[in-house]
Structure 1
Amino acid sequence: MKIYISLILLSVASLSNADALGVRVSGGLWSYEASGDIRDSATATDTFNLKDDFGIKDTEEFQGFVYFEHPVPIIPNVRVGITSLKLTGNGNTVGTKLWNGTSILGDTNIISDIDLSHTEIGLYYEIIDTGFDLDLGVNVKLFDGTVSLSDGATVNASSTFSETIPMLYGSIGIPLVAGFSIGGDISYINYNSDSFSDYFVNVRWVSSFLLGIEAGYRSFTIDYADGDQFADVKIEGPYVNARLVF
């Protein structure tokens, strides 16, 4: 993740010097709660609940986005994002269950680590740019995650997953007064009974010195099953980002 952040900052430093380009940076903390169920495969019969079995904790983690915009109509603008999603918990399993071939007895105290962190790259067009803003495009989320379960002694179960999820993308902004605006954006895909969605609603303020703040609510949901993974998970909560607009 440090490499991605360094690349983003270097890109911002170089591109912000070009008069024809616009750069927006938004980053801060997302305070979220995670709920739902996971299984080690779509065909597995044992379901683990994030709260009841794993005791997943509410937490705060980093999210950051950079937007590169230009005046050329045919070439899309670019959006790059990073979200840290490391779910951790300590709970007692409800009933004896299997995870990736490892048996976990009922009422076993399990320390769980579930990493759903991801990067995303989007291409979009400014459909309306008159103060009232409407952007449409595509967004690709890149996951390379892990699930690790341990009782600190005999139980050590884990699995990994790597997925590339293409999604439709839309964003809207409505100006108010004195640098304030309201808006939101959404990334969404529904295909073959699987769905991913990630939406933001927010209030933004930008000063005459280019600095600003954004406060809002983010909800990220996964309803996905294939041979190696099953997840029906919702992660949501408020966030606050600092903003920099060139």
Structure 2
Amino acid sequence: MLKKLLPLALFSFVVPAQADTLLGLYVGAQGWRAEAEGGFANSQSVTDFSFKDKTLASYYVALEHPVPLVPNIKISRQNIETQGNSLLSSSFSFAGESFAAGTDLNGALDMDSTDYTLYYEIFDNDILSLDVGLTGRDVDGVLMASAGSQITEQSFSGIVPLLYGKVEVGMPLTGLALQAQGNFLALDDNKLYDYQAAVTYSLLDNIAVDMTLQLGYRVYLLELDDMDDIYTDMEFKGVFAGVELHF
């Protein structure tokens, strides 16, 4: 009897962890006040800029299902942009233009990225939720440098593979939870990580829709080593607020 019950018990434990009992659709948006630092170049010796803080937005949609072994999917969209300046202590060459030492150089980044994430729910209950998976980040950006009438820019693009993880610890009967998630890559001299930690509050929870508010802190590191002849060492960090709907 025990031999018959054991496989059934294991099956009942694994299957609910894969996804919602029925199809679950998640839609979310975040506003992020990002403080930027670092710089860029066409060589490993990057030039740092004093960048301005910017309010950035991101959006995502995720679909979870009850089919075992088939991963859930999440698609998110993010725009990162910033502008700043640097008083050059030495000459700087970028995208075919040379800027002399002593120049007050303006620099800017405008980068769009779309994440395609496939993930599994390892645990999924009111106390602990754990997701792991892989992300393909489709990056499309442009870096600009200018001083007076000298203006130059260089674009870059590529798909970056990342590890994905998310954990949430619930606080029963309060509507509150602690959540952390991120994407990570460290390959040769390329480093990219994008992680956030937040407190969430379930504002609405009924059979039709759930609404959750988020307040947290996000860090985004972008270290590119020769992506289309682009080198960057830039970090964005700051407080964010968001809302998520679950249908």
Give the TM-score normalised by the residue count of structure 2: 0.83
Match of 1:161 among 156, 159, 162: 156
Q: Give the 3-state SS of the residue equivalent to 1:208 in structure 2.
A: strand
Q: How does 1:2-13 map to 2 (within 5 A)?
A: none
Match of 2:131 among 132, 135, 139: 135
CA contact (8 A) 2:181 2:196 kept: yes
Matched, 1:215 2:211: no
Q: Percent identity?
A: 26
Partner of 1:115: 110
1:27 to partner: Cα distance: 0.6
Q: 1:242 to 1:83 in 2, by over 3 A?
A: same
Mean Cα displacement is larger for which, 227-236 or 169-178? 227-236
Question: Aligned partners of 2:107 and 2:216: how far apart in 1?
Answer: 29
Aligned length in residues: 220
Q: 1:96 to 1:41 in 2, by over 3 A?
A: closer
Higher strand proportion, which one?
Answer: 2
Deviations along 1:131-151, whole A, 9 cap, x unmatched? 210001001111111011222
- One-letter amino acid matched to 1:240: A
Matched, 1:50 2:55: no
Match of 2:89 among 91, 94, 104: 94
CA contact (8 A) 2:54 2:81 kept: no
CA contact (8 A) 1:40 1:159 kept: no
| Structure 1: runs of 5+ lacking an equivalent | 1-18
| Structure 2: runs of 5+ lacking an equivalent | 1-20
Partner of 2:183: 187
1:103 to partner: Cα distance: 1.0
1:109 to partner: Cα distance: 3.1
Mean Cα displacement is larger for which, 211-220 or 201-210? 201-210
Deviations along 1:155-197, whole A, 9 cap, x unmatched? 1111110111001111001101422111111211111232211
Question: Aligned partners of 1:100 and 1:41: how far apart in 2?
Answer: 11
Question: Aligned partners of 2:107 and 2:191: how far apart in 1?
Answer: 25
Mean Cα displacement is larger for which, 75-84 or 221-230? 221-230
Matched, 1:228 2:229: yes
Deviations along 1:93-115, whole A, 9 cap, x unmatched? 33321112211123323332211
Give the TM-score normalised by the residue count of structure 1: 0.83
- One-letter amino acid matched to 2:174: A
Partner of 1:240: 241
Partner of 1:173: 168
Partner of 2:56: 61
Question: Aligned partners of 1:34 and 1:169: how far apart in 2?
Answer: 23
